[in-house]
Structure 1
Amino acid sequence: MVSSASVAGGGEPRSEDDPTVPERVVAALDRIARGVRAHRQTVATDAGVTVLQADLLRALHHGPPPPALAGPLAADLGVSQPTVSDSLAALERKGLVERRSTPGDRRRSTFALTPDGDRLAGGLRRADDVLADTVAALDPDDQEHVLRGLLDMITGMLDNRILAVARTCPTCRYFEAGTDGPRCSLLQVPLAPGDLRVDCPDHEPV
């Protein structure tokens, strides 16, 4: 069958077997995700670590949130705590991460980068510049539209329990949509489209 909406809109008739716009967006995101994974796999292999170990180094280099504990790191990366614990132990053996006792609870350990780990993590983050460059090549207005669209998708994925962690502006209790544009009630400042955060340290879930 042919979609009447396509004909009415003046475009080529669209078969109902053709992907819808939402399906094409998902396919595009999947293609992007595969590209990012392949890029990071190559970077991690060249650095002598696994992809998960590289993700942990980036997370520790970025600083909290999440807290530098196995549980929160696992939740943030969407993997099991035992898997993260094993990867942290491997990084510790490589001299890239050191374990520290938590004050008041010696059974809990926090993790910090060693000087070698900090240098490697910095290199891993710089290797992602090529990814940011592809976005920077877009028109500034398009960059902001893409950011807002992706943030809205993250909100939907959180609502549908596809994501467990989201520290974005639209999912924060301090976020106010407002008729005059979004605003952060914590900082008491308006939020321009390019100011919306993907990983805010002051985030409080709604």
Structure 2
Amino acid sequence: MGKRLPMHGEKTIVEHITVGLGKVSAALRSQAWEGGIERRLTPTQGQILLFLAARSGTAVRLNDIAGELCLTAATVSDAVMTLVDKKLIKKARSAEDQRALALTLTAAGLLEAKQTSGWTEVVQAGVSSLTPDEQAVFLRGLTKVMHSLQQQGVISIARMCAGCAYFQPYVHADSARPHHCGFVDAPLGEGQLRLDCPDFVPGVERDQERRWQTFVRGGQGQ
């Protein structure tokens, strides 16, 4: 067998995965731009519509959007003004704080958000090519990556199961559904973990760290 020659610029698996995630991100941006040209929306405006649709029924402020989407307040303000002019978003005084403005979708905005959600279909098709077991492993991996990004302050606190006060990891003997959600009072499997849940309640820091370590260790050493 011939001698293996070193490859210039050979990468670690971490670097390969990072490159792959970058390409997925580029695909999403490309689809958003193409869809935006057709629908006369920028990717940022589309993201805001999707964010408001996901938060339907709750008061959303400019700062909420900026924090969630990792954008500056000025960028969000400009995009929201355009969406208001397009009659896709409406502003009203917050019921909780009359000094603050709350943003909601109009009927036209909700319809536009549903159309905009189609921009992610190409990536969804790629994920659907994975087996159910691969999808569950991928989802668990994304949960851990997002947790790390939160710890670094790169992204805002995501409404993930693994960070929720209702989440109880590895409390059931059933390996297919080892976790428990206290909100719905039902067991959860790895493939059912959410990265953005409307019923999310942040856990107490000390308890949350204990739950996270149990989740990461796979229930060992409880």
How high is the sequence identity, in percent, across the aligned residues? Answer: 26
Measure how far apart 1:204 and its partner are.
Answer: 2.4
2:184 aligned with 1:187, yes or no?
yes
Give 2:193's aligned residue. 196
Give 1:118's aligned residue. 110
Q: Considering only aligned residues, what root-mean-square deviation do their CA atoms show, in Å?
A: 2.2
- Residues of 2 paired with 1:142 and 1:148: CA distance? 10
Give 1:41's aligned residue. 33
Residues paired across the two proteins, number: 195
Measure how far apart 1:85 and its partner are.
Answer: 1.6
Give 1:155's aligned residue. 147
Shift of the 99–202 alpha-carbon distance from structure 1 to 2, 3 Å rule, reads same
Shift of the 104–94 alpha-carbon distance from structure 1 to 2, 3 Å rule, reads same
The letter of the residue matching 1:171 is G
Measure how far apart 1:169 and its partner are.
Answer: 1.2
Give 2:119's aligned residue. 127
- Residues of 1 paired with 2:185 and 2:7: CA distance? 50
Measure how far apart 1:139 and its partner are.
Answer: 1.3
Paired residues of 2:59 and 2:94 also in contact (CA < 8 A): no
2:88 aligned with 1:96, yes or no?
yes
Runs of 5+ unmatched residues, structure 1 = 1-11
Measure how far apart 1:141 and its partner are.
Answer: 1.2
Give 2:206's aligned residue. none
The letter of the residue matching 1:191 is L
Give 1:21's aligned residue. 13
Of 53, 58, 63, 1:71 maps to 63
Shift of the 56–142 alpha-carbon distance from structure 1 to 2, 3 Å rule, reads same
Between Structure 1 and Structure 2, the one with more strand by share is 1
Q: Which runs of 4+ in 1 moved over 3 A?
A: 12-17, 64-67
Measure how far apart 1:106 and its partner are.
Answer: 3.2
**What's the TM-score, normalizing by structure 2?**
0.79
Measure how far apart 1:79 and its partner are.
Answer: 0.8
Of 63, 75, 78, 1:83 maps to 75
Quick one: higher RCO (CA 8 Å, sep 6+), 1 or 2?
2
Shift of the 59–153 alpha-carbon distance from structure 1 to 2, 3 Å rule, reads same
- Residues of 1 paired with 2:50 and 2:198: CA distance? 16
The more displaced of 169-178 and 146-155 is 169-178
